Amino acid sequence: MSMPNAGAAPARVVLIEDSEPIRQMISVYLTNNGMKVFEADTVGAGRRAVNLLKPQIVLLDLGLEDGDGIDLLPEIVTQKIPCMVISARSQALDRVISLEKGAHDYMTKPIELRELLLRMRRMIASQATPTSPNDTIWAFGDIRVDQALRAIITANGSKNVPITATEFKLLRIFISRAGRVVDRAELAKVIGVRSVEVSRALDISVSRLRKKLRDSGYEVNLRSVRGSGYLFSSDQITIGEPLSDDLDAVEAPETSLAS
């Protein structure tokens, strides 16, 4: 994979397109050029992806199975996310309406990929207040965990549940070890509890985290494994940025376990 911007975190792109071959073609090309592409094939899936992932750029097809992409434009634009319309519709009216509704750019299919990339890079560069691609965002189910805000956010934005530093650290290690048991001693160390004997503090923290995820609408599968630790299972995690197992990468220790 060629990574022209190696070192920088890849720009997050949400690609909303119902034609699988076109989606594939664009997705592969942009990925090979250092972008992180999240695909959606309907207005509904696109809305969810945009709200959850807060991408740097959105590519939006107009003719979608469950509606017209143009209806999504105002929602994307209000979030100050630049949007490029990619459509087979070549009529001037579609172009004018799209631009009127806030699209930054408009390309008519068939798409010339190199041109698309150049235009996208220009759009990203011209963002007045670019969102940092370094912000860690984890999305699963219909929720998003935002490291910068340190909160759980629902896809429709109706809820914003703050999580503590301890809960964040726990979630981080659970996600990085999804499907594997993380043992109690290690978790105790992560949250700054000296001895496994005071493991009740750990159980309380895990319970709180679990409750917050569930209250936000995510039926999290996070269970205690008798005598060893905790197991987090999820087959629907989307990790905004890669996670490492490196515990040293975890942020400064929290002074108190109390939330």
- Can you give the binding site for Ca ion, defined by CB under 5 A? 18, 61, 63
CB of 109 to Ca ion, least distance (A): 9
Q: What is the dihedral of CA 150, 154, 157, 159, to 10 degrees?
A: -70
CB of 94 to Ca ion, least distance (A): 12
DSSP state letter for 177: T
CA-to-CA distance for 60 and 39, rounded, in angstroms?
Answer: 11
Strand pairing category for 151-154 and 143-146: antiparallel
61 vs 146 by CB, closer to Ca ion: 61
Phi, psi of 237, deg, nearest 5: -80, 135
64 vs 190 by CB, closer to Ca ion: 64
CA-to-CA distance for 117 and 59, rounded, in angstroms?
Answer: 11
Calculate the CA 119 to chain-centre distance: 23
Residue nearest to Ca ion (CB): 63
CB of 25 to Ca ion, least distance (A): 14
86 vs 120 by CB, closer to Ca ion: 86
CB of 60 to Ca ion, least distance (A): 10
- Radius of gyration of the chain measured on its C-alpha atoms: 21
63 vs 102 by CB, closer to Ca ion: 63
